[in-house]
Amino acid sequence: MNHHLQFFRFFRNVSASQQRTVCFEKTARRTADFNISARRRAGYGKAGRRAFSLREAAGRVALVLALLPLTACHESDQAIARRVFQLAGQQFALLDAATDSVSAPRFYHSEKGYRTSDIGWWCSGFFPGSLWLTYEYTGQEAFLEMAGRNTRKLDGLCDRHTDHDIGFQTWCSYGNAWRITGDSCWLENIQKGAGKLAARYSPVTGTTRSWDFSRGWQWPVIIDNMMNLELLMQAQRLFAQADGDFQSQAGNGSQSQAGNDIPGETAYSYREVAINHARTTLAHHFRPDGSCFHLVDYDSHDGHVRRRQTVQGLSDSSSWARGQAWALYGFTMMYRESGEEAFLEQACQTARFLLDRLPADGIPYWDFDAPAAGEHSGDHPEVLRDASAGAIMASAFAELGGLTADRRLGRACRRMAQKQVRTLASPQYLALPGENGGFLLRHCVGNLPEHSEIDVALSYADYYFLEAILRLQPVN
């Protein structure tokens, strides 16, 4: 018994790669010793001894591999944070060096290599955001400089035609800059971004429009849009905007950014836009089991629902994993910002759906209704895990666990967040220094139906992974 206690105590203080080495070295020695003594006792013949040795060796290796996840569970939330943020410092320095003054990291594929994007790409704010989180944790001036420089790349963004993702782009970069430094120099672009997003609001549909391109849609709204509402809620607070101070471009009879002529002449505050959008989404995006559709298309003239579908998932009736993650995170955040109980109830319902259907290690398949491994045929996409959806869920679970009054659900949410972070921090998903193009996480899925960004590293996966880790740390 003492020997086993020493063995597991030792495991808590070494890395996962060291654990593997130790496991196999100890297993090899013990297997050899066991087989020698067993052969002496049993008096097996040569063939029998060989078969016995192979069976026992295989059994012992399998036992050690089974114990590895158990030993990893002994690593504390604080130890995971230290390990991951140390790696982030190394990896992000590589990403920064590989990115020029007008582009942002987009993805890395093991065969296609590293790809960047223009600042107009919806993910352009996530790398600056990851740098701000790294600076927040480490306090190292090098990351302050790096974060500021990469955020400033987005300075001209609000002068362009943008869509709903201006919320992601602005709040993850400028929002974190202001939150962490308190420097008012970042506020101008936060206010500009909020104005651009609110200008996409329609009082007829009660929502901000998502995409401007059309596949037969009139007013498409995707569940992702919930994430962008944080920019509006924070802007209301930052700029002390009174109700009625903001005039929606889509609400005064003029042409909105989306090019639709919307009747009506009413002014709306940032807060009103955000809450109305969340209420409408709650009413029309969700199924009875707590899962959600990806997209709802509204009639731009009378606001009725024209169609519900799942553009980036397996089918219109399926539960696309990242869409469920956006829903969990978005309604948790909107309850935190507004205090509206209906938002908390929806977050809890979605959480229960996820807790019932997530795999044992916590990382979802790219779609919850994707055919099980071994059952897919040429008619079905390959069943892949999506680390980005797991990271977003982990951050949301960590926050929801502290907001809900349902103690059992709260504990389940926190345990799931910890499980997901530990799985993502394992060698299966976490890159080694100098690998993975400078990103942290591997095995993400962007848009499988469009054959885009499949089994890659993605900037938003890293961002929400770091945020989840920070949310699991003890509050000072």
Contact 200, 208 (CB under 8 A): yes
Q: What is the Cα–Cα distance from 382 to 110, expressed in whole angstroms?
A: 17
Predicted local distance difference test score (pLDDT) of residue 383: 83
Predicted local distance difference test score (pLDDT) of residue 241: 54
Predicted local distance difference test score (pLDDT) of residue 377: 39
Structural tokens at position 472? 């699991």
Average pLDDT by stretches of 10, the chain with 476 residues: 38 39 36 36 40 42 41 81 98 96 95 95 97 98 98 95 93 98 97 96 97 94 98 93 47 37 57 98 98 98 98 96 98 98 98 97 96 48 87 98 98 98 98 98 96 97 98 86
Burial class (CB in 10 A: 0-12, 13-18, 19+), 383: middle
* Phi, psi dihedrals of residue 203, rounded to the nearest 5°: -70, -15
Other beta carbons within 10 Å of 259 = 9
Parse the chain into domains and list their residue ranges: 2-72
Predicted local distance difference test score (pLDDT) of residue 296: 98
Name 299's Cβ contacts closer than 8 Å, sequence gap at least 6: 205, 218, 219, 305, 306
Predicted local distance difference test score (pLDDT) of residue 371: 80
Q: What is the Cα–Cα distance from 332 to 345, expressed in whole angstroms?
A: 9
Q: What is the Cα–Cα distance from 267 to 87, expressed in whole angstroms?
A: 48
Which residue, among 320, 322, 321, 341, has the nearest Cα to 332 in the 3D structure? 341
Based on the residue annotation, tell me whether 224 is a catalytic residue of this protein: yes
The H or E element that residue 71 is part of is helix 46-72
Select which of 77, 118, 155, 165 is catalytic. Answer: 165
Name 18's Cβ contacts closer than 8 Å, sequence gap at least 6: none
Which residue, among 360, 361, 379, 370, has the nearest Cα to 324 in the 3D structure? 370
Select which of 118, 155, 212, 224 is catalytic. Answer: 224
Predicted local distance difference test score (pLDDT) of residue 382: 60
Predicted local distance difference test score (pLDDT) of residue 49: 40
- Sign of the C-alpha dihedral, residues 6, 10, 12, 18? negative
- Rounded to a whole number of angstroms, the CA Rg of the chain reads 25
Buried b (16+ CB within 10 A) or exposed e, 96-109: beebeeebbbbbbe
Based on the residue annotation, tell me whether 165 is a catalytic residue of this protein: yes
Structural tokens at position 283? 């009413």
Which residue, among 466, 456, 422, 465, has the nearest Cα to 436 in the 3D structure? 456
Q: What is the Cα–Cα distance from 128 to 143, expressed in whole angstroms?
A: 10
Contact 186, 177 (CB under 8 A): yes
